Amino acid sequence: MYNKRTVIPGLVILVFFVTFPFWYNGLSAGPVPTPELPPGGEKQCVAPASEMRAKHMKILNEWRDDVLRNGERVSITVDGKEYRKGLQLACMQCHSNKEKFCDSCHEYADVKPYCWNCHLTPAQLASKKETL
């Protein structure tokens, strides 16, 4: 007795996580993404890179809740510079090339965050400014 509708997706997710270190580290045949580091030359992220790799989705959700639900529009300091908590206000200030950074991994992992339905990418923001 098992429910196909939950077991099959469950297995798919399990296989994904179990095999992740292998294909992520390039032991598989596919080209491994090489996310472009911030073109502005920043050297540090809001957390160590290994932590960011594993947890950036969680951090983004926490930030969104902090800002929108708890009204904490606080700043964070990275390498002596202040950023306001936010997707566009912090992450994209450094990772200003979404296509070469975020997308390079997401296309590889086949994840499509829906954030950009509403949030503007730096490229969209720039083209919007031009038309104003």
Instruction: Please report the sign of the dihedral spanned by the C-alpha atoms of residue 52, residue 56, residue 62, residue 65.
Output: positive
In angstroms, rounded to a whole number, what is the distance separating the alpha carbons of residues 121 and 5? 36
- 22 burial type by CB count under 10 A (0-12 exposed, 13-18 middle, 19+ buried): exposed
Nearer to ligand HEC, 1 or 85 (CB): 85
Residues of this chain that bind ligand HEC (CB under 6 A): 35, 37-38, 42-46, 49, 52-53, 56-57, 59-60, 63-64, 67-68, 78, 83, 86-91, 93-95, 101-102, 105-106, 109, 111, 113-115, 117-119
Nearer to ligand HEC, 44 or 127 (CB): 44
Give min distance, CB of 43 to ligand HEC, in A: 5
Give min distance, CB of 85 to ligand HEC, in A: 6
Q: How far is CA 115 from the centre of its chain?
A: 10
Nearer to ligand HEC, 37 or 125 (CB): 37
In angstroms, rounded to a whole number, what is the distance separating the alpha carbons of residues 24 and 4? 29
